[in-house]
Structure 1
Amino acid sequence: MGWAILCCVVFITGYAVKRLLTTAWEGHAFSLKNFFLLTVTYSVLLTGFATVFTVLTMEGIEVMVVQEQVDSFWSLFFTAVYFSTMMLFSVGNGEIIPVGLGRWVSILAIFLGHVLPVTVVWTLIYNRSPRER
């Protein structure tokens, strides 16, 4: 069951990133539509990576070392949400350390967390009209 959930999460997360990269951005850098699209995409990425870490841990694959005791599903999931947030919005690991396959998943999270905003900014700059430049 966990592997089916993992496949669905990877598909949904991939679709969210594709949708962000192929959407025509409004000409205004600070439009509500642009902000909403970026927020939804990052929310999907955050919960997607948290689900990946949770499912892999529950399947017996060690992907992160946590210094505190994790004793329930929700405790594990919210720890994974925190870890995913740290990977997407900074590079600090702090008290949770990726190990094994988790290192590669973390690298992907860090890459997406840093490349997507740059891509959005460059797209907005490129799509500006000559009058705005």
Structure 2
Amino acid sequence: MVYYLFFVIVVIVIYLSLRTLFTPYKLRDKHLSFENFMFLVFIYLTILIGFGLIYMILELRGYDVLLDNGLPIDGNFFVKLQTVIYFSGITLFSVGYGDVAPLGIARGIAVIEALIGYAIPAAFVVRTFVEGKK
């Protein structure tokens, strides 16, 4: 039960983080300000850690969600956490080295994460210029 509650909380945090990207917000006059850059960095970090936690929750529930060099990830909690955060990062930024691969339900989650990774920069650019013209 705790895993499901934590899962729902993580999904809500990801949703709220993405919602801030699409909500009108007064940007500074500069299009490339440090504030705007940090805003984008924190959006990416929230999404990256959020999806990493989703993979970790599934892993802790007993699902094999990732293969590391062809083998299910094993080791202690911190080794697994490192692997799922790494996988989340390479998926979000569409690097995809191939050393860690998703299994089962994680494939669909990885597709959603990759789609979000592509959409964030486009949404940020559109938002910056639309707000800048107002």
Q: What is the TM-score of this pair, normalised by structure 1?
A: 0.88
- The worse-fitting range, judged by mean Cα deviation, of 49-58 and 21-30 is 21-30
Give the drift of 1:65.
1.3
User: 2 CA distance for matches of 1:111 and 1:26?
Assistant: 28
Q: Runs in 1 of length 4+ with deviation above 6 angstroms?
A: none
Deviation at 1:15, TM superposition (A): 0.7
State the Cα RMSD in Å.
1.7
Q: Give the alignment partner of residue 127 of structure 1, picking from 113, 117, 131.
A: 131
CA contact (8 A) 1:13 1:45 kept: yes
Counterpart of 1:26 in 2: which secondary structure?
coil
Cα drift, residue 125 of structure 1:
2.5
CA drift of 1:96 comes to 0.8
Aligned residue pairs total: 130
Partner of 2:62: 60
Map residues 40-119 of structure 1 onto 2, 5 A cutoff.
Answer: 40-67=42-69, 70-119=74-123
Deviations 1:25-64 (A, max 9, x none): 3332211221111111111111101000011011012221
Report SS of the residue matched to 1:127. Answer: helix
Q: Tell me the alpha carbon deviations over residues 72-111 of structure 1, each in whole angstroms, 9 at most, x when there is no partner.
A: 1111011001000001112414111111110111011100
Equivalent in the alignment of 2:20:
19
Aligned to 1:16, the other structure's residue is in SS state helix
Provide TM-score, normalisation by structure 2. Answer: 0.88
* Alignment gaps of 5+ in structure 1: none
**Structure 2: gaps spanning 5 or more residues:** none
Partner AA of 1:120 in structure 2: F
Residue in 1 that maps onto 2:6: 5
Q: Displacement of 1:124 after TM fit? A: 1.9
- Range with greater deviation from structure 2 (10-19 or 59-68): 59-68
C-alpha contact 1:91 1:110 (8 A) present in aligned 2: no
